[in-house]
Amino acid sequence: MPRLKVLFVVSECVPLVKTGGLGDVAGVLPQALAARGHDVRVIMPRYRSATAYPAERRPEPLVAPLGGGERWCGLWEGRLEGDVPIYLLEHDVLYDRDGLYGDTFGEFGDNLLRYALLSRASLELPAAIGWEPDVFHVHDWQSALVPVYQRVLGRPATSVLTIHNLGYQGRFGREAADALGIDPGAYGWLGLECFGDVNLLQAGITCATALSTVSPRYAQEIQTPLGGAGLDGALAARGRDLVGVLNGIDEEIWDPRSDLHIAERFGVDDLDRGKAACKAALQLELGLPVRPEVPLVGLVSRFAWQKGIDIFARAVEMLHGEDIQFAVLGSGESWAEELFGRWDDELPHFAARCRFDEGLAHRIEAGADLFAMPSRYEPCGLNQMYSQRYGTLPVVRAVGGLADTVEDGVTGYVFEALEPAALVEALLRGAWVMRHAPHEHREMQRRSMQEHRGWDRAAAQYDALYRLASRRR
C-alpha cells in the first residue's frame, strides 16, 4: 500500500514533556507508524522544559497569520527515536514559561491564544519545510483547531482528531475568542459555539474528517449523556466516523525480564521466585511487615475524583480489619495526601508515598499481588496493562479501557458499581483466590503476563483509519 505522510500536532510528547497519556501516545505511536513505512513527523510548542532536547534551529522563521495579524515563530528540528522528525515551535512570549498549561496559580489565561497559534502554525509548516502531509493527526483540544482552520481557509486535507480525555475540552469565554481570527458569525456551523462560550474540542469534533478515542468502550461511553461530558450529542452525530483504538504500552520499558528498577528480574517461567523477591523487597522498602502470605494491594495514581480516589480511601477503611497490606504512590487532592500520610504513620499495614517516583512505580507493579483502579471513567488506562505484564492482577471498575483490557476471573477482577463496597468485594475475591486457590491465582498471572500490549496493533488500526478517512474526505 502507498506510503502516507502524517503530521502529528500535539501539545506534549515523550521524552520532551509529559503531563498525561497524550504525551506517551505522541512519543511512541509515530515510531510505530514509521516502522510500518510511513513518513511521520511531529510538531509541538518549544516550552522552556523542552529547550534542553537536542534540536537545531532552522534558518527561516515560520510566520503564522492569526487574529488579524502575524505571529513570527522560530522553528527547531530534532529527532525522536526511530528517526522521526519533531519540530518545536518557538514563541517565547507564549511558550517560554514554567509549566505547560498552567502553574501553581492555575491555568494560563492565554491558553486559547497559545494553542490557536500551534494549530495555525501547523498549517504553515508544510510550506516552511517543503513537505505536504496526507493526514493531520491532531490530539485533544490543544490542536483541535487544525481542522477548523482547514475548513475556514478552504484547505482540503484529511484530519483525524484523537480524544484522549473528554473531561478537558478547551472551553473559553467569547471575549477571548477574537484571538482566533475567525468570523463570529461562523462559530455555529464550525461547532465553536457552546452556550455562550467557545469550545475548541467540540469544534474539532464537528470539523475533523474522522475521530478516534483511546479504547473501544470509551468510544461508546462518550456518545451517551452519562459519559459524554456535554458533548454526547456532537459525538453521536459523528458516530459513523468515530472509532476506539486501544492504546499500547512500551513493552521494553515495562518488562519484568529486563527492568532495572526492580529487585529481581523474572518472566513467566520463573514467576514465583521473581514475584516473591520483588514483594519482599517492596515490603522492606515501604516499612511493611515482610509477610509473603499476606495479599499486597498496589495503587499508583493521581489522587483525583476521576480516578475514584475517594472510593479507594473508603474501601481501605472498610478493610481495616482484614489481613491485607496496601502500597500507595501518587499525588493530587490535598485531603487524600493528608489522609494517606496519616495512615502511613498510624497503620502497620498501609504505606503511602505522596509524590512522583518512576522507580517506585515499577517496584509496586512488580511487588504487589493486586492493583486497584476504581475509576469513575477511564478513557484507556495504562497501569492495568503494566500490572498484567508483571503478574499483578488488576482490580478495576468496568469502564473505558479498563473493561477492554481486563477479563473478570481470567486476567484480573472487574466490578461494576461505583461504590466502595463493590471495590471491597472484588479485592476480597482476589485475596481469597490468592490464599485458597493459589494454582488458579498463578494461572491468572501467567495469562496476564502473556497478553500482548505493544503499539504495533494500534499503529495498524490508525493506518487503516487514515486511509478510510482519506477516501471519505
Is residue 123 predicted with pLDDT exceeding 80?
A: yes
Query: What does the pLDDT look like over 354-401, one tens digit per residue?
Result: 998 999 999 999 999 999 999 999 999 999 999 999 999 999 999 999
CATH, domain 5-248+456-472, list 3.40.50.2000, 3.40.50.300, 3.30.479.10, 2.30.29.30: 3.40.50.2000
Residue 438 in grid coordinates: 493459589
pLDDT of residue 176: 85
Is residue 87 predicted with pLDDT exceeding 90?
A: yes
Is residue 1 predicted with pLDDT exceeding 80?
A: no
C-alpha distance from residue 28 to each of 33, 74, 140, 143, 253 (Å): 9, 25, 17, 18, 12
Is residue 41 predicted with pLDDT exceeding 90?
A: yes
Give the number of other CB atoms < 10 A from CB of residue 358.
10
pLDDT of residue 67: 87
Mean pLDDT of 269-285: 98
Do 135 and 7 meet the contact criterion of CB atoms below 8 Å apart?
yes
Query: What does the pLDDT look like over 398-442, one tens digit per residue?
Result: 999 999 999 999 999 999 999 999 999 999 999 999 999 999 999
H-helix or E-strand containing 77?
A: strand 69-80
pLDDT of residue 177: 87
Mean pLDDT of 38-53: 97
Mean pLDDT of 188-208: 96
Do 363 and 386 meet the contact criterion of CB atoms below 8 Å apart?
no
- Model confidence band, residue 155 (pLDDT cutoffs 50, 70, 90): confident
> Where along the chain do the CATH 3.40.50.2000 domains lie?
5-248+456-472, 268-449
C-alpha distance from residue 465 to each of 27, 102, 137, 469 (Å): 19, 33, 11, 6
Do 374 and 312 meet the contact criterion of CB atoms below 8 Å apart?
yes
Do 388 and 448 meet the contact criterion of CB atoms below 8 Å apart?
yes
Which fold does the domain 268-449 belong to in CATH? Answer: Rossmann fold (3.40.50)
Is residue 473 predicted with pLDDT exceeding 80?
A: no
Do 269 and 358 meet the contact criterion of CB atoms below 8 Å apart?
no
Task: Please provide the average confidence, as pLDDT, over all residues in the chain.
Answer: 96
Query: What does the pLDDT look like over 291-319, one tens digit per residue?
Result: 999 999 999 999 999 999 999 999 999 99
Residue 127 in grid coordinates: 510550506
87 three-class SS: strand
Query: What does the pLDDT look like over 55-74, one tens digit per residue?
Result: 999 999 999 999 889 999 99
- Threshold 0.85, pTM exceeds: yes
Do 454 and 246 meet the contact criterion of CB atoms below 8 Å apart?
no
